[in-house]
Structure formats: structure tokens, C-alpha cells
Structure 1
């Protein structure tokens, strides 16, 4: 199952009247509950309910990146690839500092065999967060896919090159588990 690592929200750091302070303390808890509820619905594969909850939340807070991210995960899980690509692309436009949407976007590109787009997108994710292990792993898988394409093309152009068959076999072994393991990011 894909991971959903994302970011946490920080509550405001200023002092207000007691009633406003109470509202500020309750609001993040309510948000956390809504994120938790949507995540729970995703985990239990109740995608229509998860999407309805995400859409309801986003109707009130349309720019919330974390819930938009969850909506993209739901779209991915329900094979609405075009919609998921649009969602993650918009998040990267609105919040270019967040690496997770780039990672998920790259996984979607890779699923469509758009390996050059996936590579560029993952390179952005690792530039934003050089310690983002999932993006590094996915980037390695993309490089292996690109190597496989190059070796296959070289073999078509020069079938007599005996050095290509072992390379293709090795890449095929390497990619067999990777085809199942492309890892999108998840939100908490």
C-alpha cells in the first residue's frame, strides 16, 4: 500500500482572548479529526465516502494542501489518473516547496510510461528534500526503466552486441519487484 507521509500544521503562535484561544486549540484538533477520518476511509478502501468527506472539507477550505493531497490519493486509488495528475500538479503550483506531491505525480507519470516526466518530477522532489528516501528510491527505479529502454533500443539497432543481453537480463531482474513497488507518498 502506498505511504502517505506529508507535513504537519503549526497552530498560530500569538496570544488572544480566552475564547479565541480556546477556538484555536479546538480547530486544529477538529482538522486533525477530519484528516484522520479521511485517512481511515482510504485505509478501509471506502473511497466514495473518503472523497465526499474530502470534498466537503475542501468546500470550506479549498486551498488546504493536506486535504487536497488526500483527494489526489483517493483519485489515484480509484484509477482516476487524469484527475489525480491535475490535483497533484495544482498542489505543486500552489505549494512548490512540498516534495510529496511531486513524488506522487512522478508515480502517476511512471504508471503511464512517461519516464522522462517522472524523472524530472522526482528530481524536483529530491532537490526540495534531499533526505526524502522514498523519492530517491523511486528515482532509482525510473533510472532503471530508462536504462532498460536504452539497452532495448541499442539491441534493436545492433542485435550482434553480445554485451547487451546480460545488461537487459539484469535490469529485468531489478525491475521485477520495482514494478509493484513504486511508492507514492501518503499524508498522516
Structure 2
């Protein structure tokens, strides 16, 4: 009987490991399915899949991140901001939610909020090139606003006029880089 216990233990460990591998594969498929539905514009289906998944795993950061992308694509920026803000509070170590939050803020001309979010993203991940690009765009937009204010106060300021013209060429189109793709689960 003592020989059967070690074998049973090994079998149970192998069974548990196979369940974990199968579970990870299912989750990867769910993420891929939602991403594909999002890419093909099937937003209602993507939202339904996200909602179903989150009923089982409501704290999953990657699926919640995808939820924000679906909300944003569906023209629900306030909901996407709420979702991303919750992610930044619960998972402050993830830079992608900060980047996407900044993109939404910038699209609403809330450049100070966008700057703050992007500065946090690059503080968390100093190698995050997209966040740095977006931060540059936000800084340029803020600079343009400052030069415009300077011209309002002194309409004969030729340097401010030149700087505004230069920034307009840099900012056309004046949209930040694309939102981040969902981070891979670890």
C-alpha cells in the first residue's frame, strides 16, 4: 500500500499540471478570439465574449484591458476610461493601461491628464517606445497651446507664430500613436 501512495501522488501532480496547461491554452484562445473580433469590427460579439469570460475571472487584467479596447472601439470612451482607471489602480505595475488611458484623454483634449498617464507609463517601463512617442505628441500639443496663448497676449510675437506653424506640421495628423496591444499574461 505504501507503494501506491507515491504513484497516486505523481499521477495527481501530472493531472494538475495538464489541467493548468489546458486552462492556459483556453485563456489564450479567448484573448485571441476577442482580439480577432475586435480587429474585424464585430464589437457586439467581442463584448459578449469579454463579458462571459469576466463572469468567471473578473480580475483578469488582460481581458479587462481588451474590454477597454472594445469599449473604445464601440464609441464608449467614458466606459473605457473607467475600465482603464480601475486597471491602473489594481495593477499599477502595468504600463499599457496608462498609455491607452492617455490616448483616450488626448482624444478629449485633456492633455494634462494624458501627460500624467504617459509619464507614469514610462516611469514603469523606461523602454516603452510607444508611450514615449505619445508623450512627445502630448508635449507638442501642450507647447502649441502655450504658444497660442502667447499670441493672444501679444499678437505681434513672430517667434510664437513660427513655432506654432512648425508644431502644426509636426502634429499633423494630431493623433497619438496607437493604443497599446494587450500585454501577454505571465
User: Normalising by structure 1, what TM-score?
Assistant: 0.89
Q: How does 1:59-74 map to 2 (within 5 A)?
A: 59-74=55-70
2:82 aligned partner: 86
The question of whether the paired residues in 1 share the 8 Å contact of 2:106 and 2:176 is answered with no
Between the aligned partners of 1:117 and 1:130, the Cα distance in structure 2 is 19
Larger RCO (CA within 8 A; separation ≥ 6): 1
What is the Cα-based RMSD across aligned positions, in Å?
1.3
**Superposed CA offset, 1:85-143 (max 9, x none):** 00000000000000000000000000110000100110000000000000000000000
Alignment partner for residue 26 of structure 2, among 30, 47, 60?
Answer: 30
Aligned length: 173
**Superposed CA offset, 1:115-174 (max 9, x none):** 001001100000000000000000000000000000000000000111111111000000
Between the aligned partners of 2:139 and 2:175, the Cα distance in structure 1 is 16
Larger Rg over CA atoms = 2
Structure 1 spans left out of the alignment, 5+ residues: 1-14
User: Normalising by structure 2, what TM-score?
Assistant: 0.90
Structure 2 spans left out of the alignment, 5+ residues: 1-10
Instruction: Give the 4+ runs in structure 1 shifted more than 4 A.
Output: none
Q: How does 1:21-170 map to 2 (within 5 A)?
A: 21-170=17-166
